[in-house]
Structure 1
Amino acid sequence: MLTVFSANVRTRSTIASGNTSATSNTSPSGKLPAFICVFGITGSGKSSASSLFINDASGDKLPVGHGQWSCTRDVAEAQPFMIDGREVCLIDTPGFDDTTVPDSEILGRIGDFLFQSYGRKDLITGMIYMHNITSNRFGGVSKKNFHVFRELCGPDALKNLIICTNFWSIPPSNPSEYEDRERQLITTPEFFKQAIDKGARVERYVNRGRTSAHNIIRKCLSNKPEPVQFQLEATAGTTLMDTAAGKALSSELEKQLRDEIDELANTNKRLEAAIRKHDDVTRQEMEELQEEHQRTCQRLIADVNLLQATISADRKRNEEERRRVAEEWERHQQDVLIWAKYHENLQAQLSQAEFQAGLRRDARAIQTKAVRRTVAAVVGSVTGAVGAISLSMLL
């Protein structure tokens, strides 16, 4: 079973029937499921043919990418499995090196999943970042990928991160090559050191298989689930490209484009030199390299333009939303003033009515007293007259 999270739909759909996600349900042990996100780039073994960490751990059959064609284009949940009585759900995420999908869209897909999961109260238990130990470079795509990922997590969630190096079984060119590279990755601030300083751990995925994969996953199960920074930013209403991860992606793309333009300029110089020297072999090599750099530059320019368009659209929507809220607030304030005036007039009317009623009550009271005095006087007169008549009759 494979659960795919759409970047445009706020619901999750299940491919294949019979089993649904364990979201918000407890395991037989009474523990909540552990949601673990697996990140990396094409060829890192995240879901590639060389290592298949997710498939090894879950027994699922996630799509496999070959060569440089990235296969993980959507965020996908592998079939849940049990470790020590607790249900584990591995979340396969696309890397920022897809050959056909812009990086901003990749970030949107990852962000959409994180937003959905946070809304369901499914906090991420842990994160595993796969890195190919045989790669002798940590620049360009690799550096961009990890930089954006680090900003996506934020400093507080990095303690739940495991940086997992793999492909140790491939023979190195010299015995200490991989150990030296691992040491450099750990101690260099531009590489993994900043994350390690915040609590991230480094593990080796040496022997492929379920046991080895589960041993690494176990190290995540004792984590206290934490919201990642992106989830907090998105919940607060921050637009995609104004999040820390969005800003990091924008910065990395612009830097990558500048570097690629420099490489293209250098290639052009070498091509001109080869033409002057009539060096056909070098000329052909430089022409091929020139075409490659031109294609990369065109792709990066398109990505940067799309990114800028996304930022502009987000900010325009934000401005429109702010304007709408301001207008609603102004209308609300006017309604409040109108109501206050109405209330004031009503109070004045009530006060006047009460005053008039008081006058009427006083007048009635005065009239009542006058009537009573008159009646008393009349009664007194009558009584006196009757008494006088009675007395005269007796005499």
Structure 2
Amino acid sequence: MNPDNREWERVDEKMILVMRLTGAGKSYFIQQLTGMNVSAGHELKVHILYLANFVAGTEKCQVIQTSIGNTDFAIMDTPGFDGTTRSDAEILKVITEQLSIIRLGYNLKGIVYLHRITDNRMGGSAMRSLDIFEKLVGEDALSNVVLATTMWGNVVDIAAANRRDSELREEYWGSMRRRGSTATRFDGTRESARAIVEQLLGKKAVVLKVQEELVDREMSLNQTAAGVLLELEVYAEAEQIRKRLEQLESELKYEKDSNKRLEVKRSQRRNAKAFSQCAEDKKTMKSKPGVEVKGKLKKWAESGGKIGLQALQGLAAIVSISFGIAGFILGAGF
């Protein structure tokens, strides 16, 4: 089904995504943008509107409804790939479900990608997250990406921070910048947060590569550019764990010391649990979030549900995504 020939009404809601590694200052960025007192790890609560999450115990997809001047829009915060409570395959499924909903009912104006300037080097987790991010976005949508460094207020050695900033811009972000992405600094002020978002609000709506893959072409996760990368890692990890379990079985067979046998058995349980998670991740990678969301969205529309920002949470409950939605209007003195 072509998303432009849907059986539900598309609304003119503008959406901005925020993506980042854990601890990159997302909560503070949103707080400065909206004037809301958002604490990391806590629900968003404001006096205008607060809707609790429907699905407990899952990664939260927080949606903040706000406006700058006469422009209404929403910011959606996505979970990072460096979390500890869920696997990367599960996180990818959550993110792509979000993106599928946006593709079917909203106008995505762009993405803000946050990175700590206080990190002394570009670690493996940050590199991997950036690689997945680039594959999710795709070539044609890179001009709707703002790459923003954060936590400049925590910098001790400004000269070293400036060197890291140049390194990010030229080496790690250079390819994306040459293809249209913008690099900037979030200096911690409300004006800076507003300027970053306004860059994107002025652009035409964009379709990300993964949205086109999952919704328009109805691919499975493991067929997408980002999914191919992640599935290779899942299979490699599963094979590594399988070999480790064989080794532990051999050790247990010949080990006579009771304390050491107990330690080996504990290691077996940990690895067996990890192996089971890999099996679940393989199943997840074969899923089709775009198709699933379209089917549930059709049922939602047939039951009288309307596609609007405040309806997003009800829809998310049907799709089994956890959303916290808050509304806030920026005052004229912003």
TM class by shorter-chain length? Answer: 0.5 to 0.7
Tell me if 1:146 matches 2:130.
yes
Aligned 8 A contact 2:93 2:284 in 1: no
Q: How does 1:184-223 map to 2 (within 5 A)?
A: 184-188=167-171, 191-206=172-187, 208-223=188-203
Aligned residue for 1:176, secondary structure, equals helix
Task: State the Cα distance separating 1:24 from its structure 2 match.
Answer: 5.4
Task: State the Cα distance separating 1:114 from its structure 2 match.
Answer: 0.9
Counterpart pick for 1:114 among 99, 103, 118: 99
With over 3 angstroms needed to count, the CA separation of the structure-2 counterparts of 1:247 and 1:295, relative to structure 1, is farther
Whole-Å Cα distance in 2 between the matches of residues 59 and 150 of structure 1? 30
Counterpart pick for 2:209 among 222, 229, 232: 229
Task: State the Cα distance separating 1:37 from its structure 2 match.
Answer: 0.1
The structure that is strand-richer by fraction is: 2
Whole-Å Cα distance in 2 between the matches of residues 61 and 306 of structure 1? 37
Task: State the Cα distance separating 1:170 from its structure 2 match.
Answer: 1.2
Whole-Å Cα distance in 2 between the matches of residues 82 and 175 of structure 1? 34
Partner of 1:125: 109
Partner of 1:390: none
Whole-Å Cα distance in 2 between the matches of residues 76 and 106 of structure 1? 14
Aligned 8 A contact 1:40 1:95 in 2: yes
With over 3 angstroms needed to count, the CA separation of the structure-2 counterparts of 1:215 and 1:161, relative to structure 1, is same
Partner of 1:308: 282
Q: How does 1:202-351 map to 2 (within 5 A)?
A: 202-206=183-187, 208-235=188-215, 236-251=217-232, 304-311=278-285, 313-314=286-287
Task: State the Cα distance separating 1:147 from its structure 2 match.
Answer: 1.0
Letter in 1 for 2:218: G
Partner of 2:29: 53
Letter in 1 for 2:148: C
Aligned residue for 2:123, secondary structure, equals coil
Whole-Å Cα distance in 1 between the matches of residues 158 and 67 of structure 2? 37
Aligned 8 A contact 1:126 1:160 in 2: yes
Structure 2: gaps spanning 5 or more residues:
1-8, 43-56, 242-267, 292-334
Counterpart pick for 2:159 among 150, 171, 176: 176
Q: TM-score, normalised by structure 2?
A: 0.63
With over 3 angstroms needed to count, the CA separation of the structure-2 counterparts of 1:35 and 1:97, relative to structure 1, is same
With over 3 angstroms needed to count, the CA separation of the structure-2 counterparts of 1:90 and 1:314, relative to structure 1, is closer
Aligned residue for 1:186, secondary structure, equals helix
Q: TM-score, normalised by structure 1?
A: 0.54
Task: State the Cα distance separating 1:303 from its structure 2 match.
Answer: 5.4
Whole-Å Cα distance in 1 between the matches of residues 271 and 168 of structure 2? 28
Letter in 1 for 2:59: R
Letter in 1 for 2:107: L
Whole-Å Cα distance in 1 between the matches of residues 193 and 240 of structure 2? 37
With over 3 angstroms needed to count, the CA separation of the structure-2 counterparts of 1:257 and 1:175, relative to structure 1, is farther
Task: State the Cα distance separating 1:118 from its structure 2 match.
Answer: 1.2
Letter in 2 for 1:40: R
Partner of 2:251: none
Aligned 8 A contact 2:136 2:210 in 1: yes
Task: State the Cα distance separating 1:137 from its structure 2 match.
Answer: 2.3
Task: State the Cα distance separating 1:302 from its structure 2 match.
Answer: 6.0
With over 3 angstroms needed to count, the CA separation of the structure-2 counterparts of 1:209 and 1:118, relative to structure 1, is same
Q: Per-residue displacement from partner, 1:92-118 (whole Å, max 9, x unpaired)? A: 110001111111111111111111121
Aligned residue for 1:37, secondary structure, equals strand
With over 3 angstroms needed to count, the CA separation of the structure-2 counterparts of 1:297 and 1:187, relative to structure 1, is farther
Aligned 8 A contact 1:42 1:95 in 2: yes
Partner of 1:101: 86
Letter in 2 for 1:232: E
Aligned residue for 2:92, secondary structure, equals helix
With over 3 angstroms needed to count, the CA separation of the structure-2 counterparts of 1:40 and 1:150, relative to structure 1, is same
Aligned 8 A contact 1:250 1:304 in 2: no
Whole-Å Cα distance in 2 between the matches of residues 225 and 155 of structure 1? 15
Partner of 2:60: 74
The structure that is helix-richer by fraction is: 1
Aligned residue for 2:26, secondary structure, equals coil
Task: State the Cα distance separating 1:310 from its structure 2 match.
Answer: 3.2
Aligned 8 A contact 1:162 1:203 in 2: yes
Partner of 1:157: 141
Partner of 1:13: none
Aligned residue for 1:178, secondary structure, equals helix
Partner of 1:369: none
Task: State the Cα distance separating 1:183 from its structure 2 match.
Answer: 1.3
Computing the radius of gyration over CA atoms, which structure comes out larger, 1 or 2? 1
Aligned residue for 1:126, secondary structure, equals strand
Q: Per-residue displacement from partner, 1:256-287 (whole Å, max 9, x unpaired)? A: 99999xxxxxxxxxxxxxxxxxxxxxxxxxxx
Aligned 8 A contact 1:44 1:131 in 2: yes
